[in-house]
Chains A and B, each alone.
Chain A
């Protein structure tokens, strides 16, 4: 079946630099995407979302970019801090317009921030 996947399983970034975490999806019917952050020993925490009718959305220090042509999603974190160290998951909902709340999660990328 179609699924969400990630290009990079691990990413090490110097504190203060920008981080870019990538995600590839294969379900062209997906119309809603979310990024979650999971710290060690905790549950995933919502970061930012984007609908398929948008190609960019910004939050506090984070930006999500969506390229529907190549089915690619990215999360950019500006001025990465030690507290950003975590595993980041992208998730998709292929049927949000139909009222479904089922999310399909990627395997995750581990971000390590070097002080």
Chain B
């Protein structure tokens, strides 16, 4: 398996623009997690899904952030409008029901909002 796939790897955009980050979890995994990593706040859980259904989105910063999982092999995290303080590395991770606490992380998307 190729592992968790994220795209793009790098994104540079201007304040006010819409940003869409994409994730393909490991095939067969039931859980999908979106994290944000910054130097100041470390690694923070934004939202996670179980069987494509959002379970907990309490970590989503504000209404500008939204996440969807239309099927078992694809998820998006959207920021609209983007702001400079959204600059961070965004990770997607997935896990299986059996090894549910062992999360496999993707390589991340480095977002820079100018």
A residues with CB within 8 A of B = 32, 34, 41-46, 49, 89, 93, 96, 100-108
Of the residues B42, B45, B91, contact of A107 by C-beta under 8 Å:
B42
Contact B91 A43 (CB under 8 A): yes
Closest to B42 in A: A107
Q: Write out the residue numbers on chain A whose beta carbons fall within 8 Å of the beta carbon of B105.
A: 43-45
Q: How far is the CA of A102 from the CA of B59 in the complex (A)?
A: 10
Contact A43 B48 (CB under 8 A): no
B residues with CB within 8 A of A = 4, 31, 33, 42-45, 48, 56, 91, 93, 95, 100-108
Residue with the highest number of chain B CB atoms closer than 10 Å, among A42, A43, A104, A107? A43
Contact B42 A43 (CB under 8 A): no
Q: How far is the CA of A52 from the CA of B35 in the complex (A)?
A: 25
Contact B48 A102 (CB under 8 A): yes
Q: Write out the residue numbers on chain B whose beta carbons fall within 8 Å of the beta carbon of A44.
A: 43, 91, 105
Of the residues A42, A96, A100, A101, contact of B95 by C-beta under 8 Å:
A101
Contact B102 A89 (CB under 8 A): no
Contact A43 B101 (CB under 8 A): no
Given A101-B95, A102-B48, also A46-B104 (CB < 8 A): yes
Contact B107 A43 (CB under 8 A): yes
